[in-house]
Amino acid sequence: LEDMGHFFGAGGVMDSYFRQYLQPYVDTSASTWRWQPGAAQKLGINPGVLHTFQRAAAIRDAFFRSGGMQPTVRFELKPVTMDAAISQFILDLDGQQLTYDHGPSRPVAMQWPSANGLGVVRLTVTPPPSSGRSGRTLEGPWAWFRLLDQSDLERGNSPD
């Protein structure tokens, strides 16, 4: 995450370069950034490079909303359904806990990385499935994203 912050964060490599060398030559007021007339040629730069800087700005705006070099993702999780064979599901996201046991489903606000910064994600199901493995633990700054990447995710019918 430190490398991501150094490269994409507010004041990071991409942001600093754009502000110092390119911003005066770019119209950022529209949804697609545009060079000022003749600017790309004057600078001797490929016009397509601007798209790269706009994408970097989108990453900065999504992950570095509070500014600075530490990326943060805030979101809510809400259980939708759970197999009847499972009596309880617990997700511990770096000390932030979501527990579901077939009762009313309530959204839980979470943040990654969390304030404690341990970088640990734990999933626990009760009772353990036939595999005997009742949970899973991932560690490190990318643990949450690795869990999502390894999961069988499907888009639901609602925007939630």
CA 100 to chain centre: 23
The whole-model pTM stands at: 0.73
Per-residue pLDDT tens for 71-100? Answer: 988 899 999 889 899 999 999 999 999 999
**DSSP code of residue 77:** E
38, 101 contact by CB (below 8 A): no
Torsion 108-56-30-158 (CA) sign: negative
pLDDT of 159 above 70: no
- Distance (Å, whole) CA 11 – CA 69: 7
Nearest residue to 70 (alpha-carbon basis) of 138, 144, 145, 10: 10
Per-residue pLDDT tens for 104-132? Answer: 999 999 999 888 878 899 999 998 877 77
Per-residue pLDDT tens for 11-55? Answer: 999 999 999 999 999 999 999 999 999 999 999 999 999 999 999
pLDDT at residue 160, rounded to an integer:
58
146, 137 contact by CB (below 8 A): no
- Distance (Å, whole) CA 121 – CA 19: 37
